[in-house]
């Protein structure tokens, strides 16, 4: 039976007096690929940052049967919760391989780190070709691949992906999502945040719709794709 790997209960994020996330609740089961879709400014990034404990929040966050609100972000990385941030966040002046190794900084199993690096190069051959190139000179799509690869170096159980398609040409979006699908197929649980609702609903089995800091719809991807409200607001129909 599926069990919750991540659960948020009444999660709230405030910036000064402004409420960006207004008490949302959702669950991600182990092995699932779930999306959170919504327009620019809906509160998606704030939600992911709160889950990764990069910003303060109120409400409960349960991860792997543990309450994690009081834990620092690095403790979560060690527990297998990794965020691939909006805008990639690669270290522009470091090389590809140096960026990848940053994802394993908390690990000491050097032999397994080397084998994971080879595995990631197998999944992302472009990164292998460019392993000595500084990350700042990579294309947007290559930087997105690198950000995903860096997160994989931490051996995540749960990957939080913030707008991996942003700013990429359609062909590159396809390639990035092919990688995301492969990662999911290996058993990594994924919470995907996207403004590109159609794409997100096509790869995920379930989705939540976020509007002005609140979750307004939650359903299977098939139901959301067929929902007239979703079609009008997010699918341009």
Tokens at 34, concatenated: 């779930």
Among 6, 11, 24, 46, binds ligand ADP (CB under 6 A): 46
**What is the rounded CA–CA span in Å between residue 147 and residue 45?**
16
Of all helices (H) and strands (E), which one includes residue 7? strand 4-15
Options 2-10, 27-35, 43-51, 76-84: segment touching Mg ion (CB under 5 A): 43-51
Options 42-50, 64-72, 122-130, 143-151: segment touching ligand ADP (CB under 6 A): 42-50
**What is the rounded CA–CA span in Å between residue 31 and residue 216?**
24
Closest to ligand ADP by CB, 120 vs 199, is 199
- 186 neighbors 217 (Cβ within 8 angstroms): no
Helix (H, G, I), strand (E, B) or coil at 64: coil
43 binds ligand ADP (CB under 6 A): yes
User: Closest separation between CB of residue 65 and ligand ADP, Å?
Assistant: 27
User: Closest separation between CB of residue 86 and ligand ADP, Å?
Assistant: 7
Options 2-10, 83-91, 100-108, 183-191: segment touching Mg ion (CB under 5 A): 83-91
**What is the rounded CA–CA span in Å between residue 83 and residue 72?**
13
44 binds ligand ADP (CB under 6 A): yes
99 binds Mg ion (CB under 5 A): no
Strands, E, within 30-111: which ranges?
33-37, 58-63, 66-67, 81-84
41 binds ligand ADP (CB under 6 A): yes
Residues 49-68 that bind ligand ADP (CB under 6 A): none
Length of the chain: 237
**What is the rounded CA–CA span in Å between residue 189 and residue 5?**
8
Options 1-9, 35-43, 71-79, 220-228: segment touching ligand ADP (CB under 6 A): 35-43
Among 3, 9, 10, 15, binds ligand ADP (CB under 6 A): 15
Which one, of 87, 42, 49, 81, lies nearest residue 65 by Cα? Answer: 81
CA dist list (Å): 183 to 123, 191, 200: 9, 12, 15
221 binds Mg ion (CB under 5 A): no
User: Closest separation between CB of residue 114 and Mg ion, Å?
Assistant: 34
45 binds Mg ion (CB under 5 A): yes
Residues engaged in binding ligand ADP (CB under 6 A): 15, 18, 20, 38, 40-46
């Amino acid at each position: 039976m599926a069990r919750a790997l991540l659960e948020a209960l009444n999660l709230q994020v405030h910036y000064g007096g402004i409420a960006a996330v207004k008490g949302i609740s959702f669950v991600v089961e182990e092995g699932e690929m779930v999306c959170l879709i919504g327009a620019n400014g809906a509160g998606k990034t704030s939600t992911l940052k709160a889950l990764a404990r990069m910003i303060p929040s109120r409400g409960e966050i349960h991860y792997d049967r543990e309450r994690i609100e009081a834990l620092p972000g690095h403790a979560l990385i060690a527990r297998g919760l990794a965020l691939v941030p909006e805008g990639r966040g690669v270290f522009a002046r470091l090389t590809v391989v140096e960026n990848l190794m940053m994802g394993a900084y908390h690990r000491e199993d050097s032999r397994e780190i080397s084998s994971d690096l080879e595995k990631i190069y197998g999944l992302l051959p472009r990164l292998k070709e460019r392993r000595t190139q500084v990350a700042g000179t990579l294309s947007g799509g290559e930087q997105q691949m690198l950000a995903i690869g860096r997160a994989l170096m931490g051996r995540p159980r749960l990957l939080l992906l913030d707008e991996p398609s942003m700013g990429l040409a359609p062909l590159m979006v396809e390639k990035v999502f092919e990688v995301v699908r492969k990662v999911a197929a290996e058993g990594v649980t994924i919470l995907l945040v996207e403004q590109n609702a159609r794409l997100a609903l096509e790869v995920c089995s379930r989705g939540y719709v976020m509007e002005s800091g609140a979750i307004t719809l939650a359903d299977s991807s098939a139901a959301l794709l067929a929902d007239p409200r979703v079609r009008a607001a997010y699918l341009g129909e």
